[in-house]
Amino acid sequence: MKKVLVTGGAGYVGSHTVKELVKNGYDVLVVDNLETGHRKLVDHRAKLEVADLADKEKLKSIFEKYIPEAVIDFAAYLAVGESMEEPEKYFQNNVANFINLLDAMNEVGCKLLIKSSSAAVYGNPTKESDIPWQEDFTECYRPEKSALLSGNWQGKKIAGEEFFQCFLDHYNSIYADRPELKLSSDEIIKLRIPMSIYGVTKLLDEIVMKKYDEFCGLKSIVLRYFNVCGADPSGGIGEAKPKPTTLMTLAIWQILGRVPELSIFGDDYSTSDGSGVRDYIHPSDLATGHIKALKFLVKNNKSDIFNLGTGTSSSVFEVISAVEKASGGKVKYTIKPRRSGDPAISISDPRKAEKVLNWKAKYNLRDMAETAWKWEINNSKIKIQKSK
């Protein structure tokens, strides 16, 4: 049986992937610090080791004991807004801890990695033809200035190039004694594409992975997710955040009376109904995408990057309507100004994953709303306990 170590496997997408892995006969060890993950989300057939990727020695000893053939890494923070307020925290978890993971893998000779990335690496479309996003956009577009929006760096409000330079200096000072991690001028220009620190950390991880491939042969597949929503059809696992920020979950929470009303961030975009348009994808589809990527990596021993999306688009109003149909309720909302940092449209071109990995999403928006609703109803009965 193939051994796979899954970091962040007690989280939302991680727990769906762990379930799919054990279903496919893999021996799974989850490594999770349970900061945002939950013990109860981990499939009972998988093992769980509570550890933080910041603890390099513990991480190494886990690798030495378990000897995995491959790693799937989900352990990261993901809130775009928070990343602008606490960029150093995002640097530590999403970049420094990730480099610890790569070092531990390299030191024990585990050279296969699947890594979750995000559509946030694409930033804002520069022209109409950028949508749907294709993977090579980040290889072609070279902006002159950083697209970073306003944020907070050590108590100071900054944006754009100034913010970007602070982040870059931080990386350079921490890895000054690691010449193999030095960023080239082309890599630095590329890092100017994302609008958020979250997006920059994900793109930086992708760049760092390429470096590990070059200097020690660590092969990796990057999976760029679009907007994840929905839950496992069993109703047993789903998103379990104490303070959700994503649209579908908030729409459901509004119907359940957990939030007084939903804010719609802008109805004046040049989209079909004026609201923001996204490519929503079900976590069970992401889970099968990870298995296909893992099989591809084991077979071909070749690094690559894939979008994981449906290639279809839904507006905010369409998501609300899907939630109302699934629940039988009515979402109370008010129209608010546009949210800073939101692109009008983000849609994937999923054809590369279809062609190369033989993967295609099978759940639609209705399925996402129905399964998310079922999970929220079940979850309010289960009451997930913090087990740390």
Which residues carry out catalysis?
Answer: 198
Quote the least distance from Cβ 301 to ligand UD1, whole Å. Answer: 29
- Cβ closest to ligand UD1, residue 9 vs residue 11: 11
- Can you give the C-alpha Rg of the chain in angstroms? 20
Binding site for ligand UD1 (CB under 6 A): 78-80, 118-120, 226-227, 245-247, 250, 262-265, 276, 278, 316, 339, 342, 346
- Identity of the residue, 10 or 247, whose beta carbon is nearer to ligand UD1 in the bound complex: 247
Nearer Cβ to ligand UD1, position 79 or 356? 79
Q: Which two tokens stand for residue 309?
A: 């999306």
Report in angstroms how near the CB of residue 64 gets to ligand UD1 at its nearest.
33
| Closer to ligand UD1 by Cβ: residue 35 or 103 | 35
Contact in structure between 348 and 133 (CB atoms under 8 Å): yes
Shortest distance, position 173 Cβ to ligand UD1, whole Å: 27
What span, in angstroms and rounded, lies between the C-alpha atoms of 185 and 322?
Answer: 46
Q: Which is nearer to ligand UD1, 80 or 357 (CB)?
A: 80
Q: In whole angstroms, how close is the CB of 108 to ligand UD1 at the nearest point?
A: 30
In Å, what is the CA distance from 271 to each residue of 229, 313, 320, 333, 343? 21, 11, 16, 19, 11
Is beta strand 151-153 parallel, antiparallel or unpaired with respect to 156-158? Answer: antiparallel
Q: Amino acid identity of 134? A: Q
Nearer to ligand UD1 by Cβ, of 156 and 339: the residue is 339
Strand partners, 115: 73, 222
Q: How far is the CB of 312 from ligand UD1 (least distance, A)?
A: 14
Smallest gap from residue 263 Cβ to ligand UD1 (A): 5
Give the nearest residue (CB) to ligand UD1: 276
Angle subtended at Cα 229 by Cα 147 and Cα 275, rounded to the nearest 5 degrees: 55
> Measured from the CB atom, is 108 or 372 closer to ligand UD1?
372
CB of 83 to ligand UD1, least distance (A): 9
